[in-house]
Amino acid sequence: MRHELLLTAIALILLVTDIMLKPSQKPRIIPVAMVLFSIHTIAGFFPAQEGILFGGMFRATPLISMMKNVLNVGVLIILLQSYTWLMKEENRDKMSEYFILMFSTLIGMYFMISSGDFLMFYLGLETATIPMAALAAYTHHQTKSAEAGVKLILSSALSSGILLFGLSLIYGSTGSIYFSDVALFYGTEPMQVLAFLFFFSGMAFKISLVPFHLWTADVYEGSPINVTSYFSVISKGAASFILVLILYKVFFQLIDVWQEVLYIISILTMVVGNLFALRQKNMKRFLAFSSIAQAGFILLGMIAGSQLGMTSVIYFVLVYIFSNLGAFGVVSAIEAATGKINMNDYDGLYITNPKLSLLMMLAMFSLAGIPPVAGFFGKFFLFTSAASAGYYWLVFIAVLNATISLYYYLMVVKAMFINKTETPIATFRSDGMTRAGLILAGLGIVVVGFWSQVYEFINSLSVGLLY
Amino acid sequence: MTGTIPLQYFLIISTLMFFTGIYGFLTRKNLITMLMSIELILNSVNINFVAFNRYLYPDNLHGHFFSLIVIAVAAAEAAVAIAIIINIYRNFRSIDVDKVDEMKF
Amino acid sequence: MNILSLFVLIPVLTSVAIVFTKNMKQTRVASAIGMSIQLILAAILVFLYLNERQAGNTAEMLFTYDALWFPSLNIHYAVGVDGISVAMIALTGVVVFAGIFASWNMEFLTREFFISLILLATGVFGFFISIDLFTMFLFYEVAVIPMYLLIGIWGSGPKEYSAMKLTLMLMGGSALLMVGLLGIYFYSAPETGILTWNLLEISKINIPIEMQRFLFPFTFIGFGILGALFPFHTWSPDGHASAPTAVSMLHAGVLMKLGGYGAFRVAIFLMPDAAQEQAWIFLILTSISVVYGAFGAIWQKDLKYINAYSSVSHCGLVLFAVLMMNQTAFNGAIIQMISHGLMTALFFALIGMIYGRTHTRMINEMGGLMKVMPFLGVVYVIAGLASLGLPGLSGFVAEMTIFFGAFQHTDFFHRFLTIMATTSIVVTAVYILRVVGILLLGPIKNDHFLHLEDAKWHERLSTITLVLAIAAIGIAPLWLSDMINVSLAPIVNKISMTGFEFTSLF
Amino acid sequence: MIDYTYTLLIPLIPFVVFLFTGLAGHKMKPMTSGLIGTTGLFAVTILSYLTAIRYFWTDHVEGAGYSSLKAFEIQWLHLTEKLTINLGVLLDPISVMMLVVVSTVSFMVHIYSLGYMKGDTGFARFYAFLSLFTFAMLGLVLATNIFQMYIFWELVGVSSFLLIGFYYEKPSAVAASKKAFIVTRFADLGFLIGILMLSFMTDTFDFQTLVSPTGPAMAQAGGAAFLGLSGITWALIFVFMGGAGKSAMFPLHIWLPDAMEGPTPVSALIHAATMVVAGVYLVARLFPVYSMVAPDALHVVAWVGGISSLFAAIIACTQTDIKRVLAYSTMSQIGYMMLALGVSGYGGHDGLGFMAGNFHLFTHAMFKALLFLGAGAIIHAVHSNDMRDMGGLRKYLPITHITFLIACLTIAGLPPLSGFFSKDEILVAAFHSNMPLFIIEFAVAGLTAFYMFRLYYSIFWGKDTHYHHTPHEAPATMTIPLLILAFGAVFSGFLPFHELVTSDGLPFEAHIEYAVAIPSVLIGILGIVIATLMYRKVSTSPAKLANGFGSFYTWAYHKFYMDEVYLFMTKKVIFNYISRPVAWFDRHIVDGFMNLIAHVIERSAYLIKGFQSGRIQQYGYVFVSGTIVLVIIFVYLW
């Protein structure tokens, strides 16, 4: 419970501080928030009490706090990277909202991951989603941002509606909303399968799996870039965590069904995500679609239904957080400095901004799963997991898709390193916070793979079906 | 309990509401109406929960609580949604859903 | 420190050193020093290896070092070498060394160039020392990816297209490979034992035949793509044509060998039953590559294309020999890899040097270069002669060993294919002499060629190193062949243990 | 066992000389490298003669027959458990004989070239190549096993290539060298396949084992049949294909006339005396195998030899380039040798053909080298190859004239010159075993005399040509070799070959059979007389004769269009109908397929973009449909 309490406290402190600050002092909120959140992140790594609360609605296990820590690290990097953007004039009077909204969603995610029954799960889900819509519409004077907000809130409302309908059927068929009870009573009757599928669609929406993904690109494009990176890594990561937990814990009886579902959906997701990503020119949209394809890979880990599957999913999310935040960080730094967001604006970037380009390249390689950076390990373990359940053809299709994805990731590398242009982005230097965020992401990309202890630690916490 | 309405009736009603809501969401052009359709969906869920609880599992109150929470959350959701829709209206001068397609492909 | 780990460490340290160099001179000196150490180390390794064998050490792999890396998946950083890998390491050492000197005058983004090049070398060295399938695969991909930048940034012609095609096709190959390796891993413990990635341990058990049937094509084609297996070879002509000199050298010289080596070490060694069953399909494909590549080379006009097609033919011969699956053929395959590595590196080095002077690679725009650059001309002829299999140079030894190995099969199918493959030696002669005739001999076609200079010292150093290696193998092949032969014994034993008969088409 | 290990030096000296002059040649004065080469060869010659004398006479136990012995052998490469490639020195009658031939001619050519090549820009290179060739040829001759022979076989091929293309700035020389190499390479492919088959049937490469009457090869007679011939017959036919290529036998002869683009001393050494007889030597080496287990293969040898000799002789009558005439004459004479081996039996007097073939090889080396060197002296003097540019040269070039005449008489087979003896033995052998071939050879003997004297008269007599520079006799470095070779040509016929070089190593009695000898001498004289009548003075009779033969003459003049056929095969068929389609196929089908995949992916990316329409309701529609489809699949279809 420490995560939730601490973060809630931080959010409250920020709220109060914000009220007390004069308009001219508003920027001071940033260091305060950063410091507090850093402390929170570090504190999360200390061993916490295990156990259940509220009669089983809330559970805390080392695995779950590990998941929360993974999210924390991601959020910390995002916050660091948002500095330049936040300091813009237009955002001056709503800085604290940014933090508060973000922390609220994060609290929601904590609860969602920690949930021991569907009620807590639903609460957490909505707590995570609703402020997110507000975040998407953060720059309210921009049509795109507003559009993103409305698209997100309406689509997510629809998806939660369907999910809820599924939950109601689950309740109807088992008489309980507690995970442990539901798991006991759950079978493979048609209504239960139906209920599961409704539930799954709702979750698929959160992880943006094809065909439930269509909102993703528009929302990603419209939202402020740091919010986008938040969506694409944190929100997606949290949803993946809870999905894998619920699949393994609650629906283990349905394993034959959901393995097939994941099989189909993951192929669709990877293929469609890749095909859309191929032709994107806007970096944000490009990363959005690439993150859809990445979500397809995550399913490969889940499909195994074993400890290996769980580990590979968590590990991959961790790696993915670093890689994607590396990419988003660069895009964000460039957008903040120059306002340029298209891929061909990146032409010749290496000549003017070599360090940024190198980081971007590492991030791209990591996303594509190229060794020796972390992405390779992440993908490899996902594939290992799928293969452990005998899904060799799925692995094959997935690696082929990884190859296709390599194409567009390399297009970015090509733009930066190979393309020549008269007017490259001028050399610029980001501020310290942004750089710290970038370095953190870069460090993660390089280190997490080689450093096998990370994986082993996650593995030691992970469990398979029916834990 | 004699002469009570069978559970199926509630389920039929809720299913009808659910699909009406979905139909409304997919066809109405006004953002507010779409929001209302979503409320329909959520309410169908509430009916389900309550009915299941009352008829099948009268020993616990999970369904009732769940529906209460759903109502609360729906309210929060509607608040944020309407705020954003107002924002849309400011930017687009319209709340026609088809106008909101600046970003695509 | 284990001597083998140095092979990975030194290039990495060199790259780090290059990062801190200030100008082109320092950069290339740093690279040259690093790679010279690497070459010396390779020589020491050969020496130590032979010594150890002399002393009667009969372990399958020597200088092994094993560190648990990912305990839960039983992934190790496990290294070790036998005669085959020692030979390949020596080859890589020589080619990389020559490559550094061949790109002495790289002016554009020098540091980045050498770092990428050395990174590529790291991958190759790492691949050859690995006996753990995971690290092997990791290094394999490490070796492939710098190619994109190297071709894309420093290449010529349609470099972006070629670089992309090469990278994607090779990565497509690793898609197949991934499936194959994962399959092997999950069937590496027959009963309830611990799954393992270790080559040697897997080789001790028999993977169930149904799985072998499924996994063998994946693994073999996966490696085969890098080994230019027909019809997956088309990345090679474009890639080579666009790549800068040193990259072509390294790529054709050592990177393509990863394919042959892997096909042999992993696909055949671990799945001999399926290999014997399915060999006929791939034998047909490879004998097609052998002849087809050679005929394809005749018609080309670009020097690099000629050489690329010739590589298709020669590398086809490697896979062809590997699939013949007997000791002599294996031996031939390894020697052919080394021989082809050396001579094709030499070719590409020379082509680069010629191109640097004439600014064209079209043979019909050149002529009579022997007159103006006798050194390069003579070396080109030597390379050509090695390529067409002249005794006294390495190509001959390799080809003969392969033919004799392949001919050991007494059935008509295998003999027919062998004879078909032997015809390539004539076709090779045709295109090599055609090039030599047009390019070097005859009258000088272009007056401005009269002012061209002959090779500089670094170019001489680069080419002479390679020529010496080629001649050394050609004149005294016995030590190399024996070194390989000893190490082949376990592999051949494993194959002969399986009671499978070769499937032949007719 | 008598120690012959020093024979190892015989091939090694030229090799060292080659390395030295090849690497350091351009730093020395040209003449220095020439002298180094010549000195080296002198040493080789001394050693060779020493070996020959020791082997044939001083170390020989009277009446014991000549056995073959390995003076030296090391392992070179290990192929299979049974097959090992060794390098070594094998001494037996034919190899020792060849040693003498090669070293003598090579030494003469070395001396000769000091004068002939003087002032040439590539002087050092020339000597380096000559050493390389000598090394390779000696290695071939001394080979202990068939694979070593193949190794050096390839090496002589490449040195021949290098020397033909010596004037590399001349396109015709480049083309000729290429042609020579590729045609012989093609033949070598046959040789290689032959070796493959032979070695897998017998499990050995070793000559001693192969030819041993109790060896594994002999057990293969009969064997598995393919197209009616046994396996070993096929193997030997393939091996002979290699020999036929190197020895310019029909139809693999086309490279030889073109090879005359090389410097004339090279033609003398390689394309007359040594390398081109390698094929004969090869067959002679394996002769016991041919003779005992594959008589069918031997028939092939005989007929190929016979046809080639006739074919070449006819063409030689029509050519005007003196070197080409000599080239065809070489081909024709080698045909003789092949035929001799082909008609021979094994052991005792039956092996007459074997002895005769080798004997002719020996004498031919002398007189043909002499002819070429003489031709070189002539070319050196008049700077032309064409006999129509010559005439009346006997006044200017007395020594050349005399030696050339001797050579012509020798080749025409007039007693008591050496050609008479060797050719006579061949005719006798043919006479006893194969009448049609005898008739062919008989005719060829006449033709030979005719075309040689046609050549002789056109050069030295005939019209009095006006020369730009007065031709002058060559320097002593060139004339001395001529004289030495002339001496050889005259007297080598008296060597007792039937005692020294026989099929089974044992001497036998041979004597002149007058029933064959007298007609053959007569037909030779007839040829000379006709040539004298036609060419001694300028006359119209040659033209008339040519017209008389009509299109046959034209065909012969164009070498029976063999070149055109080959050109058609290579340029048209291989280039246009194989290579070009292969290249096209590769670019457009194989590679096109890869590009097609990329294209399809890109197209489909555009095709599905409609899904991302930007409208929430459509998104919702897809969402709901997705759910419904899942439900249909898993609830109803599952």
The closest of D454, D469, D328, D467 to D389, measured between CA atoms, is D467
Mean pLDDT, chain D, as a whole number?
Answer: 83
pLDDT of residue D401: 84
pLDDT of residue A164: 92
Q: Are D44 and D13 in contact (CB under 8 A)?
A: yes
pLDDT of residue B41: 92
pLDDT of residue D226: 67
Alpha-carbon distance values, D432 to C90, D83, D332, D350, D516 (Å): 63, 40, 21, 10, 10
Per-residue pLDDT of A105-121, as tens digits, reads: 999 999 999 998 899 99
Residue D220: pLDDT band by 50, 70, 90 thresholds?
A: low
In CATH terms, B7-92 corresponds, of 3.40.50.1220, 2.60.40.10, 1.10.287.3510, 3.40.50.300, to: 1.10.287.3510
Instruction: Give the DSSP letter of residue D63.
Output: T
Q: What is the CA radius of gyration of chain C?
A: 22
User: What is the C-alpha to C-alpha distance for residues D400 and D115, in angstroms, rounded to an integer?
Assistant: 14
Q: Are C442 and D171 in contact (CB under 8 A)?
A: yes
Mean pLDDT, chain C, as a whole number?
Answer: 86
Average pLDDT rounded to a whole number, residues A6-21:
89
pLDDT-above-70 percentage for chain A = 99
User: What is the C-alpha to C-alpha distance for residues B19 and B41, in angstroms, rounded to an integer?
Assistant: 8
Chain C CB contacts of A376 under 8 Å are 138, 141
User: What is the distance between the terminal CA atoms of chain D, rounded to a whole angstrom?
Assistant: 90
User: What is the C-alpha to C-alpha distance for residues A338 and A355, in angstroms, rounded to an integer?
Assistant: 17
pLDDT of residue B42: 92
Better-scored residue on pLDDT, A337 or C193? A337
User: What is the C-alpha to C-alpha distance for residues C431 and C419, in angstroms, rounded to an integer?
Assistant: 20
Tell whether D631 is within 8 A of chain B (Cβ): no
Residue D203: pLDDT band by 50, 70, 90 thresholds?
A: confident
Per-residue pLDDT of B70-102, as tens digits, reads: 999 999 999 999 998 888 888 888 888 888 777
Strand partners, C66: C78
| C233-251 b/e (C-beta count within 10 Å ≥ 16 → b) | bbbbbbbbbbbbbbbbbbb
Tokens of residue B85, six digits: 């829709």
Tokens of residue C305, six digits: 């294309």
User: What is the C-alpha to C-alpha distance for residues A59 and A48, in angstroms, rounded to an integer?
Assistant: 12
Tell whether B21 is within 8 A of chain A (Cβ): yes
Chain D CB contacts of B27 under 8 Å are 617
* Sign of the CA dihedral with A329 first, then A333, A339, and A340 last: negative
Per-residue pLDDT of B15-37, as tens digits, reads: 999 999 999 999 988 889 999 99
- pLDDT at A103 exceeding the cut of 90: yes
Residue-wise DSSP of D422-470: HHHHHHHHHHHH-HHHHHHHHHHHHHHHHHHHHHHHHHHSSS----SS-
User: What is the C-alpha to C-alpha distance for residues C385 and C432, in angstroms, rounded to an integer?
Assistant: 8
User: What single letter denotes the amino acid at residue C87?
Assistant: A
Per-residue pLDDT of C127-162, as tens digits, reads: 999 989 999 999 998 888 888 888 888 888 888 888
Residue with tokens 């600050």: A21
Is residue D368 within a helix (H) or strand (E), and if so which, with residue range? helix D352-382
Q: Establish how many alpha carbons lie within 13 A of residue D597's alpha carbon, considering only the half-sphere containing its beta carbon.
A: 14
pLDDT of residue D221: 63
Tokens of residue C334, six digits: 């390894």
- pLDDT at C354 exceeding the cut of 60: yes
Per-residue pLDDT of A271-314, as tens digits, reads: 999 998 888 888 888 888 899 999 999 999 999 888 888 999 99
Total-model pTM: 0.90
User: What is the C-alpha to C-alpha distance for residues A242 and A244, in angstroms, rounded to an integer?
Assistant: 5
Pick D583's closest partner by Cβ from C300, C440, C443.
C300
- pLDDT at D228 exceeding the cut of 80: no
Residue A262: pLDDT band by 50, 70, 90 thresholds?
A: very high
pLDDT of residue D117: 83
Helix (H, G, I), strand (E, B) or coil at C205: coil
Is D in contact with B (3 or more beta carbon pairs below 8 Å)? yes
Q: Could you tell me the residue range of the domain that residue C306 belongs to?
A: 3-496
pLDDT of residue A386: 92
User: What is the C-alpha to C-alpha distance for residues A78 and A82, in angstroms, rounded to an integer?
Assistant: 6
Phi, psi of B11 (to 5 degrees): -65, -40
pLDDT of residue C505: 46
Pick B97's closest partner by Cβ from D616, D621, D624.
D616
- pLDDT at C506 exceeding the cut of 50: no
Touching subunits of A (3+ CB pairs, under 8 Å) are: B, C, D
Domain ranges, ordered by start, for chain B: 7-92
Say if C506 falls within a structural domain. Answer: no
C:D CB pairs within 8 Å: 133
Tally the residues of chain B: 105
Average pLDDT rounded to a whole number, residues C238-257:
87
Q: Are C395 and C466 in contact (CB under 8 A)?
A: no
The closest of D309, A117, D7 to B63, measured between CA atoms, is A117
pLDDT-above-70 percentage for chain C = 98
Tell whether D620 is within 8 A of chain B (Cβ): yes
Distance from D205 to chain C by nearest Cα, in Å?
12
Strand partners, C132: C198
pLDDT of residue C377: 87
- Can you give C101-164 as a three-state secondary structure string? HHCCCCCCCHHHHHHHHHHHHHHHHHHHHECEHHHHHHHHHHHHCHHHHHHHHHCCCCHHHHHH
Alpha-carbon distance values, A466 to A305, A316, D449 (Å): 9, 22, 105
Lowest mean pLDDT among C368-377, D258-267, D551-560, D612-621: D551-560
Chain A residues at the B interface, defined by Cβ less than 8 Å, are 118-119, 122-123, 126, 130-131, 133-134, 137, 140-144, 146-151, 153-154, 157-158, 160-162, 164-165, 167-169, 171-172, 175-177, 217-218, 221-222, 285
Is residue D69 within a helix (H) or strand (E), and if so which, with residue range? strand D69-78
State the angle between helix axes of C272-299 and C412-422 in degrees (0 to 180), rounded to the nearest 10.
Answer: 30
Q: What is the CA radius of gyration of chain B?
A: 17
pLDDT of residue D425: 83
Who's near D176: CB < 8 A, 6+ residues apart?
A: D164, D165, D255, D258, D259, D260, D261, D262
pLDDT-above-90 percentage for chain C = 10
Instruction: Give the DSSP letter of residue B96.
Output: B
Domain count for chain C: 1
Tell whether A352 is within 8 A of chain C (Cβ): no
Show the CA angle centred on residue A402, arms to residues A354 and C73, nearest 5°: 100
Residue C63: pLDDT band by 50, 70, 90 thresholds?
A: confident
Q: Do D586 and C296 touch (CB under 8 A)?
A: yes
User: What is the C-alpha to C-alpha distance for residues C245 and C466, in angstroms, rounded to an integer?
Assistant: 15
* Pairing of β D84-91 and β C62-70: unpaired
Tokens of residue D387, six digits: 């006999």
User: What is the C-alpha to C-alpha distance for residues D564 and D566, in angstroms, rounded to an integer?
Assistant: 5
| Interface-testing mutation among A355, A362, A396, A451, with chain C (most C C-beta atoms within 10 A) | A396
Residue D459: pLDDT band by 50, 70, 90 thresholds?
A: confident
Residue D126: pLDDT band by 50, 70, 90 thresholds?
A: confident
* Pairing of β C75-81 and β D69-78: unpaired
Pick D617's closest partner by Cβ from B97, B104, B105.
B97
pLDDT of residue D2: 64
Q: Are C497 and C416 in contact (CB under 8 A)?
A: no
Q: Are D517 and D424 in contact (CB under 8 A)?
A: yes
Per-residue pLDDT of A211-255, as tens digits, reads: 888 888 889 888 888 899 999 899 999 999 999 999 988 888 888
Tokens of residue D173, six digits: 């020389």
Choose from A366-380, C440-454, D434-448 the range with maximum mean pLDDT: A366-380
Domain ranges, ordered by start, for chain A: 2-461
Neighbouring CB atoms inside 10 A of A191's CB total 13
Residue D521: pLDDT band by 50, 70, 90 thresholds?
A: confident
The closest of D104, D106, D90 to D159, measured between CA atoms, is D106
User: What is the distance between the terminal CA atoms of chain A, rounded to a whole angstrom?
Assistant: 20
Q: Are C493 and C348 in contact (CB under 8 A)?
A: no
User: What is the C-alpha to C-alpha distance for residues D158 and D136, in angstroms, rounded to an integer?
Assistant: 9
The residue of chain C with its CA nearest to that of D226 is C412
The closest of D627, D567, D453 to D178, measured between CA atoms, is D567
